[in-house]
Amino acid sequence: MNKKGQALVEFIIIIPIVVFMILAIIDFMMIFSNKNKLESKMNDVIVLYKKDKTSMDIIDYLNKDLKGVTYSSKSDNKYTYLEIKMNYSFVTPGMDKILGKKYEIKCERVILNEQ
């Protein structure tokens, strides 16, 4: 029996699975990192919103560090709903088939309107 040949075949069978798992872990780490960045930026957006900055000022501020970020706000009599979101493109081959072409990362806040 040739043990080296058997080990090589097993390695060739296992390596694509290991590479896929490593790339998937990297993708999920990037999603988590971008979510944390959005959460951090949301605190700044709330401050800018309370200073009566325009939507364009807020979008310009967000796009300095993060590319492709969208911002929206809507108000009713009592609350204002703020939302920022961005799309993430996967590095892992086939992950876009599992979770969709682009993964949407979203951060939302509800703030009380001043009376």
Partners of 74 in the beta sheet?
81
Average pLDDT of the chain, as a whole number: 87
- pLDDT of res. 25: 93
pLDDT value of position 96: 76
- Backbone conformation region of residue 74, classed left if phi is above 0, alpha if psi is from -120 to 50, else beta: beta
Angle between helix 3-50 and 55-65 (nearest 10): 150
How confident is the model at residue 115, as a pLDDT?
Answer: 63
Mean pLDDT calculated for residue range 3-26: 89
Q: Which domain holds residue 98?
A: 3-112
Query: What tokens appear for 2 in the block?
Result: 């040739």
Number of domains observed in the structure of the chain: 1
Does residue 79 or residue 99 have the better pLDDT? 79
24-80 residue pLDDT tens: 899 999 999 999 999 999 998 988 888 887 888 888 888 888 888 889 989 888 999
